[in-house]
Every structure is written in C-alpha cells, then in structure tokens.
Amino acid sequence: MPVRLPLLLFALLFGAPRPAVPQTPTADKGRQLVAECIQAMGGQLYLQINQRSGEGRLYTFDSNGNLANPGTHFWLYYRFPADQRLELTKKRNVIFIYSGGKGWQITFKGVQALSAQQLRSYADLSAHSIDVILKQWAQASSTLIFDQGLTQFQQEPVHAVRFTTADGKSATVDFSTFSHLPVRVFWRETDPQTGGILEQSVVYGDWSSIGGIKTPFTIQRYAGPMEVQQENFLNISFAPFSDSLFTPTTRKH
C-alpha cells in the first residue's frame, strides 16, 4: 500500500503550492464589499482605464499640522500602476517624474536623480494606492480580504476591509456604507531610520463621475494623525497621453 505523506510535509519536500485558504463569512463579505465598490467606481470601465491626468492646487503642512504655504498650482499625469509626472508652478517649470522604479527632478538647472528616500517614499505610497488595491490586490485569488466590520471615520459609517497579499503587503480600506466608495486607505510601515512603526493613510473625497468613472477630486495624505499633503483637483481627464511624459528631458510636452 503506497505511503501517503501529510500535505504540509509533501509541500515542504516537493515545493507544492500552499493550500488555498478556506473562505470564511468575513472573507466572503470582504470580497462582496470590494465588488460593490468596483461597481460604484464604474465597473469594468474603471478596471480597464490605466491613465489619468488632472490640474489643481497642492497644499503641504508642517510638523504641527498647520498649512505651510498658500498652495501651488499643479498638473498631474498618472499611468497605472506606479508612474507619475507632477508639474508645479504656473510656469510648470518644476517637474517630478517617477517611472519604472526610478525618479527625477527637472528644473532650470537640468535633470537630477531623486534620492533613495524620495523613491522609497513614493514607492510605498503608490504600492498602497486605491487603484493598486482594487485592480491588482483584489483581483488576485491569493490575496486575503476580510471584512473587519462597521465603524466610523470622520462621522461617516464605513465598512473596514483588511487586505493581505501573498507577498506580505497589507492595508485596510474604509468603504462608505452609503456610496460603497473608498473613504480611506491606511497601512503601517517600518521607518528605515528609527525602526519604529509609522501609520500612513490617504483619504479620498469630493467624488465626481468623469465619463462614467467615479474619481476623487480631493486627496489627503497623513503621517500618523497629521495631515502632510492635500491635492485639490480642478479638473480630471481619462484621455490618453504620450508615454514620453515619463521620460526625463527638459523638453516641453
């Protein structure tokens, strides 16, 4: 009679894929909430779009949470999942480009590579964006998605849903119980300098429909309880644009 190895031992010996995690009521509810959110966002139209551009005003805050400046005019180009071009000032003569894991700043002095810290900060932020969570994390069967129950955020009832990917990334998304749209994404990371744990969060608001796709016109970033940056969009478009925007040159587009 053939010997049957225990499943775990067989996996360790022969590299078999890990067993599928059994679904639970909270996992089923979590995926249901995600499906409702994607439908509210525009369904397949939202999932398929991979470019977005917009114009607005950018505000930053000091370490005490106070407004640090009167705001800067900006133009933003985003290509899913992690490429971005940010043009600042009315003359659009200060530019930051993040593409393919690299980054540059362009000014009248020319093109300068961004620091490792700037790249790390942007990579962490883009890896936990709502687009990446809904279009990549939630679409992978290996991602664990659990409903954490009803709670409140900024006096609004929300459903908290916890996501954990196969490679260990995690975040919690608060979904509005009324609109099903995402209200906040928050996650924890280790500070590479101090080793302490930092909580990062992004709050989405002022939603509008653009060509059948719901998109936030206000995006706020927090480090712990302190707001550090706010983007207020005046207009947003999903029209395609040239990939050359993510090439670091001093030429005007």
Tell me the pLDDT tens digit for each residue of 133-188. Answer: 999 999 999 999 999 999 999 999 999 999 999 999 999 999 999 999 999 999 99
- Is pLDDT at 83 greater than 80 in this prediction? yes
Is 28 a domain residue? yes
Neighbouring CB atoms inside 10 A of 118's CB total: 14
Instruction: Tell me which residue range forms the domain holding 72.
Output: 22-246
Burial 199-233 (b: 16+ CB within 10 A, else e): ebbbbbeebeebeebbbbbebbbbeeeebbbbbbb
Residue 196 vs residue 96, higher pLDDT? 96
pLDDT-derived band of residue 16, with 50, 70 and 90 as boundaries? very low
Q: How far apart are CA 140 and CA 240, in angstroms?
A: 27
Question: Has residue 64 been placed in a domain?
Answer: yes
Q: Is 11 among the domain residues? A: no
- For residue 66, the model assigns a pLDDT of 86
Q: Give the pair of three-digit tokens for residue 100.
A: 């393919």
Is 75 in contact with 92 (CB distance < 8 Å)?
Answer: yes
Report if residue 120 sits inside a domain. yes
Number of domains in the chain: 1
Residues in the chain, how many? 253
Q: What gap in Å lies between CA 121 and CA 204, rounded to an integer?
A: 19
Q: 224 with 198: CB under 8 angstroms?
A: yes
Model's pTM, two decimal places?
0.87
pLDDT grade for 58, boundaries at 50, 70 and 90: very high
Residue 160 included in any domain:
yes
pLDDT tens per residue across span 100-139: 999 999 999 999 999 999 999 999 999 999 999 999 999 9
CATH no. for residue 65? 2.50.20.10
Percent of the residues in the chain that have a pLDDT greater than 70, as a whole number: 89
Q: Is residue 4 part of a domain?
A: no
3-state secondary structure of 11: helix
pLDDT digits (tens, 9 = 90+) for 195-251: 788 899 999 999 999 999 999 999 999 999 999 999 999 999 999 999 999 999 865
